[in-house]
Structure 1
Amino acid sequence: MYSNLKRYTFKFSSLINLIIWRKTRYAICLFFFILSYQVLLAALQDSSNTFDPEINNNIEFPQNEEPDTAITALNLAYKISIDRGDTLPAIYTLLKKADFHGSRANYGEAYDNFWDALSLADKLSENTLIKAEIYRELGRLYSFYKREEESEAYLLNSLKLKKQLLKEKKIDSADLVRNFYAITATYREWNQPQKARQFLDSSYTYFHDKPGQLPKEFLAFEEAFVLSQLGKPEEALGLMKKLQPWFEANHPHYLVLFYTYLGDIYKQQDQSLQGQDYYERAIKTANYYQKHLDFTPLIYEKLSDVQKEMGMYQKALSSLEIAKELDATFFDSRSKRNRPILLIKDEFRVEKAKQQAVIQQQKLLSLEQKNEISWLQKLLLLFAIIFLIAIGILYFKNLRSKHIAENEFLRKKKELEIEKANQLVELKNKELATSALQLVEKDQFVKELEKRFKETDDDIKSTEVKSIFKSLSHNNSQHWEEFKLRFTSINEKFYENLIQSYPNLSQKDQKIAALVKLNFSSKEMAGLLGISVQSVHTARYRLRKKMGLKRDDNLEEIISGF
């Protein structure tokens, strides 16, 4: 995005310069300027309403001998932004207008531009960075009038905001360089090299190359000034000579300051002729580029001093008169163009407080009117909400009571069904047990009968007896099968669950388990199965072993659970 922006900026600047260069074609060039600025606005909107000093520093507006044309272009750019509702581009334009007016010592207009920019900045959700930039420029503005207290307050407040943004990781550390540089330049103008040295060191500490960064040559220029004031004029002169080609090629309008301080160094070394030459160069540069005009009174004073030292008293007097005239024009309170600057000390803060008070009053009045109109509606709405809540609570309680009653009914019904089923199973198990006991008694009777037959002396055919007992034995097996079927029909899942849990149980083990479930004693089991009581004990032991039961486990309780 930045590469496109720079390309559009180049086109923008070229068109503005064309307007100034060819005044006879003003209308045509202005048309192309509008188209170019529309493209520039689109590029600025891509920045998502986030202030970026890099963009502002890269936008070059016209700075030459046709200020009316340049201001017309800037005013048009501002109007386009406001009409489109583009706050950020409007702020950019106002800052450039302030820079334009400030470079021509029209500080009243410059301050108005900063004030308007601050007002627009309040409309942005993220405005800390842009306020820091404006505070920095306001500090520089106050410094030109030697209002040191106000100037330092704005400059340090700007630096404080930037450091807070750096702490929040919203800006890069290199973004502090311009603030340190501005404070350094201010102390240079106030001729306080020690303080200038302190903030210059901070500038170097935070400096690293990044897009839009202040060129390091500006820091080197400040360093040359500090060296010249701290008794090292030769080092300062050598550094200035190295910097001169760069400034001539890249920032020729800044040569106004550069030539002036270079003349100071030559004057320090008693090279008055060279000093006079560079002072005159500085004046010509200021008049040519119409930049740093506020610096020209000081340059003429310096030129007057060096001319006086050289014995050129008439020229010295003439230079001094020009210096006084320019000083009155730029800085005298009687000057029409600068009279408003004496009234701006707290104008922004006072106006801001007034605006906030008016807005607050309007909000209170609006709120009172709304309360008077809608209080009845709110009361009715409140009653309606309470009524609905009450209805909802009653409905919920009724529904909950009904649900609880239904659940209780279903629970009792299920318990009753389970109880009836258990009673039925228990009854049938009792019948089955009775039937099994009858079979046991029958077997005992048969055995007793067999014993008596063996003991009698009556002549009975043994084959007939054997046939009778064989039939009884067969019937006995049938009785067991009938018993198993009846037991299974009553206890449907018994064998299925038992085998699923203990798949290694034999048929004999299953019989023992079924009789245990019916609470048969070992003697009753022996009679029903036709085995001895000892064999029943052995079978129960094997059953416990196969089921993996411990000595303390109750076999009857475990089997009753199936």
Structure 2
Amino acid sequence: MQHLYKAFRCCCILIFCNLQLEAQTLIDTSSVVNKELLQLKYNLQAAKLANNDKKESQAYIQLGDFYNQLKLKSEAVKNYQLYLSLNNDKDTSLVYVKNAIAAINVDLKNYNEAINHLHESLSISEKINDLKGKANANALFGTIEEKKGDYKRALAYQNKSLNIFKKLQDSTGLAVSNENIGSIYEDLEQYDLAYQYFKKAFVFSKNSDSHIRINIINNLGDVNRKQGYYNKALTYTSQALDLARATNNFSQIESALKDLARIYAGKEDFEQAYNYLNQQSTVNEQELKLHNAELVSAMQVRYDVKEKEAALEILNKQNQINKVQKYIIITITGAIILTFIIGFLYLKKSRKHEKAILEYKQQLLQADLDKKITEETALKREIDIKISSLTSYSLHIAHKNKMLSDVSKTLTKIKGRNSELIKSKIQQLVEEIEADLSHNNEWTELMGYFGQIHPNFFESLKQVATSKLSASEMRLCMLLRLNLSSKEIAEVLRITSDSVRIARYRLRKKLPLNSKEDLQAYLLNL
């Protein structure tokens, strides 16, 4: 019986592999994502058929990496966990998987879970002398401490990682470590130190992946922009944009366009800033469409494969049930007692099989749920596009207010040079412009747009405020929630930067903040 079962299992796996190959011919050959997923699934089944645990465990790592690249975190962790359940060797692959799971948990802000995996990773890497795994684990510890706001500990971990990569002479590791340290100093607003580390990262990134190199160049531009060196920032960011376009890296193209808009806004060239924001919105839409197409395609293939797996398993279980039934029919003629025993065993096994069939049906439902989650992610990206448009509208208001203010000042200067009649006409025009500047229609429209994107923001703000907020304070909260800088807020409200600073100070007193909490970060998380 057992030999027959093994032979039947091998036949089923072979049938499954053929079904996969048939499915592969039905998929569009131009879809790289579909091909890669089908190939990885085929490799996994081939390893299972050959009873090769080592190849099977490596196949799970490759599937985990594949889903991680597509940002399907739950599927990535699931495959990494399958590797852990199969592999008992404490080797470099185990360190790699532990670090990968920790990195996913860092992205999901599950810091305690990430720390547990990193401690295991460090313990294993020290025992087997895996320096690269140890360096990556320290880098992730540094990232966690940076996100928690403990910059001293973050720097200590990142420097450990940097020293190990120096021993390994790993140029990519050195580039990433220097960039991480530069980011910490940038958060601390020590821009000179941040710039030095970004420059070192740029030197080491010459042989690194283009994505890493572009990100470093973008950081060089951003740190110069924050110091007010707009021409230098423009040079770096333009270089990052050219490299991103050459490699078709849509996320980096979008980031570079957004930074260019900020640079031109800092130079008070609002027309160029508005132009780059429009380009960034277009690229964002293109990236959204491309990413969604890849996700939907991958999810469809995954759903089809799981459906075939479930159907095959159901057929397998049904055949086993039929085989047991035939055995009962043959043996029932032997003896009644033996018949009762076999009947009892059959009933027990049948229930177990029905439970397994139910589990496979639940897996199908889970696949459908994952597909819906992907669609929800797409909707979130659409909301991000609307937020970008809202920021563009704010810059447009600032540009218009500045233009009207300049016209008003000019007319005021020349009104004394003309006759009494011209003077009265110019005075009337000045009053009309001033009235237009104080008109609240644009604020009403802007707050209406804001309310569509953040419908509960103002209600939540009123609930947490310790005293009643004025209309101007509500406007200031809205602009801070849009992540505008103090300079940009001053231009929108037509006040000085000192007035913005005083307004922010008064607003802090009306909100439940301690002295160490950042006002803008609080409003962004409200």
Question: Which bracket does the TM-score occupy, shorter chain normalised?
Answer: 0.3 to 0.5
Q: What is the TM-score normalised by the length of structure 2?
A: 0.43
Q: What is the TM-score normalised by the length of structure 1?
A: 0.40
